[in-house]
Amino acid sequence: MEYDVQERSLDDAELAGLLEAAFAELVTRNGREGRTQVKSGARYFVVLDGEDRAVGCGAVQVFGPDTEHAGDGEVKRMYVAPPARGRGYARALLTALENAAREANHPVLRLTTSERQPEAIALYESCGFVRVDPWGKYATEPTTRCYGKPLNPTS
């Protein structure tokens, strides 16, 4: 089934509500707040249900030039509301995020998740993401799982 995925700005009420729910779930699962800063220029998306309500969100941002993965894209804030899970919304959203990263010419799309999120790990691996060495602050967080996926044939 195809779902409508739309780009939204941070001042969008539906997006804001989903981001707050995502942060709350991270606290519940990981015992700490997951509000890492999203860089300016990040592109935010929501996935809509059959009644045009936003039920999931995600963002793509670029790694800065002073980082070890300069120019790569990074998935941030990937989240689907619990009542909407298991219906393909996350897969549709992740596909849209990959497409946005390709449009921005990111050679690799990277992401992080937690070992406490097995459903996220299963989704990412089923979509072709492979486990990679942790980077930056994640290198010292033993429960974090880092993934990457080449997007362009030259990478």
pLDDT tens for residues 57-116?
999 999 888 888 999 999 999 999 999 999 999 999 999 999 999 999 999 999 999 998
Sequence length of the chain is 155
Collapsing DSSP to helix, strand or coil, 74 comes out as strand
Per the structure, the complete domain to which residue 142 belongs is given by 5-150
State how beta strands 144-150 and 108-114 pair.
antiparallel
> Residue 31 domain-assigned?
yes
Q: Please state the rounded mean pLDDT for residues 40-68.
A: 92
CATH of the domain at 62: 3.40.630.30
> Residue 47 domain-assigned?
yes
Quote the pLDDT of residue 76: 94
> Residue 56 domain-assigned?
yes
> Residue 38 domain-assigned?
yes
Q: How many domains does the chain have?
A: 1
> Residue 155 domain-assigned?
no
pTM here?
0.90
> Residue 99 domain-assigned?
yes
- Beta carbons within 10 angstroms of residue 58's beta carbon: 25
> Residue 62 domain-assigned?
yes
> Residue 136 domain-assigned?
yes
